[in-house]
Structures are given as structure tokens and as C-alpha cells.
Amino acid sequence: MSIEIQGINKFFDKFQALHDINLTIPDGQLTALLGPSGSGKTTLLRIIAGLETPEEGRIRFSGRDVTDLHVRDRRVGFVFQHYALFRHMTVAENVAFGLNVLPRKERPGKPEIRKRVKDLLEMVQLEHLADRYPAQLSGGQKQRIALARAMAMRPEILLLDEPFGALDAKVRKDLRRWLRSLHDELHFTSVFVTHDQEEALELSDQVVVMSNGRIEQVDTPLELYGRPDSRFVFEFLGQVNVLSGRIGDGVMRQGDAWIRLPEGCENDDAQLYLRPHEVRLTQAASDQAHLPFRIEAINLIGAEVRIELKPDGWECEELWEVGISHTEFNARQPQRGDRCFAVPDVGHLFCEHAAEPKTLEWR
């Protein structure tokens, strides 16, 4: 079931939480609503569920207008960040809740309910906990029960509000993979809210980046990471190195630093954005770029060695970060305080007088 969101405006008193949101969430896909806190992502999810009412705009499920439909009649599954399990009911009673409150005519018989609950608990691999109370479960187990409970009504749309937000890193990763495989198996339409860019990029088919109640960009994870539309998206999706300067005659300058730009760059004030893997470190300046640095810190943990660089003879707001392989690190043995130069391979240029960013290549 697809979800069409049209012209949604939402106010909390005088504060406008959402500004004219238009979005289509395709059938059977896993979509992430990504943004910093206060960006309106949870509000949008709650509007889709019917837990909040927008001041303006329509919500349609596969063309059917559900804007004025109460949450209980929308038949969506909703999973809360803090699980919201019913504490006075056992796990099995929690999962059976939706079935037990159906009107008598639609309600399946007791044996049928028992079987459905058993199947759902098997699906989340927790059938041995059926008679426990929520207080006796771990966070990861609680969230899986919450998921089983939401799935009991066989919803075609599953909405998850920061589903892994309250869990620790290891459990989070397991549960993430497990949700992905469950989704691939059952093919419902799911939307989940997260502020963790890694989670959004790893898990979803489509990412919606939001900030200040507006949609910044809607794209596949690959496109989003490779071709961000705005500075905000670029900065939000991982580490970024920035050179601010002025372009003149095809060269961008600031203090001692300069970069020769490929052809077709107008004279303008501009910022060059570079990902850590799009920059190489060398001992001498090249003829295409002169970006002198001092090594500020070296972090050996992880698949790559991350080197923090402080500009030498020019300025930037945050330190640059460049990743080099452990092999290269061992061969060169750089030390803190060493002078070195950065050479860009790929960069993204945001000019003051151009709406669209430009991707540059030097190779």
C-alpha cells in the first residue's frame, strides 16, 4: 500500500512543525525519515498514523483519503521508541491485544488467536517468553514483542518511531538486520524515523532527509551520499571537510591555500565540500592543489586510520579528517605535528550565486 502525503502543514500553538510537506512513499518499500531532533520527522510519522491531525493537507493510502480517519480505523502497525508494552499483561496477552479487542463478529476464535500469537512469537523468535511480563524482558526483546504486537493485525503499513533508539549498539545492529530480512520476506510498506544517518543509509530503500519542518532531499541511500543537494544534507550525512574561499580565474584561494578547479567555474565566493575518502595525503604540494596542514591527532581504531588535520596558514571552522589505510600508515609512519598536504580527487562545490552544487573531479 503506497502512502501519498500532500501539502501537510502542522502547528503546535504558534510553532510550525511542518511546512507544506509533499511526499510519496512507494508500496512495499522501506523508507527512512532522517533528520536531527526537532526536524519534524516524528510529527510526520504520527500524522501518517493518525496520532496527530494536520492543520492542512491530505494523507492517502493507495489513493484512499484517510486524513479524517481515526487511528484505530487506519489499520497501520505502530512501533514506539520506548516499546509501550502493556505492563500488566503477559507477552502473549500483549501480542493478542489487537485481536482480542476486535468486534465480536470479526474476532477469531480463542484457538485461532492462540495459534496466531504462537506464530508471531515464533517470527520474532521469542516463543519461550510467552508467559513473562514485560518488566522481565531486555530492551531488544521488548522491541521485538512490540513489533509482533503491531504485526498481529496484519497491517499493510508499518510505522516505526526511532525503533532502535533506546537500545545499545550491538542489539541495535542485530535488530536492524532482522527487521530488514523480515521486511524482505513480508513486503509491507514501512516508514521508520531515525536520527542515525548510518542506520538510515544501511536499512532503507529510500531516505527522506528533513530539517526544520521541511524536506531537504528524497533519494536512494547511494544517490543521497554521492550527490547531496544541499550543504545541510552533506553535513548531516557523515564527516565533511570544508574549504571556504574565493574563486578567481579558475583557482580557489584562501590564505596560503589554493586549488586549481576544473574548467567552467565562474568567479564567486564558494565552499568546497570533500568527504574524508575523497582526499589523499601527500608530503609535498602538487601543481593542482596547495593545502598545507599540521597533523593534530591520529586515530588507529577501525578499518581505516583517521587523521585529524589542522590548517597551516589558512583557516577552517572544523578540523579536516582524512582516512588512510593501515598499510599506508605503517609504510609512512606520520607523527603528530608533521606538516603534510591534502590533494582532492573528488569535491562538491557550493557557489554563493548558484542554486545547484557542482561535483568536480581532478583525476
Partner 1 sequence: MATTDVMERPAKRLSAPATKRVLPGFGLSLGISLFFISLVLLLPISGLFIRAAGMGWEQFWFVITDPRVVASYKVTALAALAASLFNCVFGLLMAWVLVRYEFPGKRLLDAIMDLPFALPTAVAGITLATLFAENGWYGQYLADLGIEVAFTPLGIVVAMAFTSVPFVVRTVQPVLEEMAPEDEEAAMSLGASDMTVFRKILFPTLWPAVVTGGALSFARSLGEYGAVIFIAGNSPYISEVISLMIFVRLEEYDFPAASAIAAVVMTVSLLLLLAINVWQGRYLKRLHGG
- Give the interface with partner 1 as residue ranges (CB under 8 A): 49-51, 70-78, 80, 82, 84, 86-88, 97-98, 101-102, 133, 135-136, 146, 149-150, 152-153
Alpha helices in the chain (DSSP H): 41-49, 71-74, 91-100, 110-123, 139-151, 169-186, 197-203, 221-226, 231-236, 326-332
Cα–Cα distance, 215 to 72 (Å, whole number): 28
Is the torsion defined by CA of 288, 286, 289, 333 positive or negative?
positive
If the CB atoms of residues 77 and 140 are measured against partner 1, the closer one turns out to be 77
If the CB atoms of residues 49 and 340 are measured against partner 1, the closer one turns out to be 49
Q: How far is the CB of 137 from partner 1 (least distance, A)?
A: 9
If the CB atoms of residues 47 and 233 are measured against partner 1, the closer one turns out to be 47
Q: How far is the CB of 102 from partner 1 (least distance, A)?
A: 7
If the CB atoms of residues 135 and 301 are measured against partner 1, the closer one turns out to be 135
If the CB atoms of residues 71 and 354 are measured against partner 1, the closer one turns out to be 71
Q: How far is the CB of 311 from partner 1 (least distance, A)?
A: 48
Contacting residues for 258 by C-beta, under 8 A, at least 6 apart: 245, 251, 252, 289, 290
Is the torsion defined by CA of 344, 278, 37, 135 positive or negative?
negative
Neighbours of 75 (CB within 10 A): 17
How much of the chain is helix, strand and coil, in % rounded to 5? 30, 35, 35
Q: How far is the CB of 190 from partner 1 (least distance, A)?
A: 15
Contacting residues for 16 by C-beta, under 8 A, at least 6 apart: 9, 10, 213
Q: How far is the CB of 88 from partner 1 (least distance, A)?
A: 4
Within its chain, how far is the Cα of 64 from the centroid? 28
Helix axis angle for 110-123 and 139-151, nearest 10°, is 130
Q: How far is the CB of 192 from partner 1 (least distance, A)?
A: 15
If the CB atoms of residues 98 and 311 are measured against partner 1, the closer one turns out to be 98
Q: How far is the CB of 204 from partner 1 (least distance, A)?
A: 22
If the CB atoms of residues 71 and 222 are measured against partner 1, the closer one turns out to be 71
If the CB atoms of residues 151 and 349 are measured against partner 1, the closer one turns out to be 151
SS3 324: strand
Residue 255 main-chain phi, psi, to 5 deg = 60, -130
Which residues on adjacent β-strands are paired with residue 214?
211
Q: How far is the CB of 246 from partner 1 (least distance, A)?
A: 52
Asked if residue 51 lies in contact with residue 31, where contact means CB atoms within 8 angstroms, the answer is: no
If the CB atoms of residues 76 and 224 are measured against partner 1, the closer one turns out to be 76
Asked if residue 189 lies in contact with residue 29, where contact means CB atoms within 8 angstroms, the answer is: yes
Q: How far is the CB of 87 from partner 1 (least distance, A)?
A: 5
Helix (H) or strand (E) holding 161: strand 157-161
Of 202, 210, 205, 206, give the one whose Cα is nearest residue 175. 202
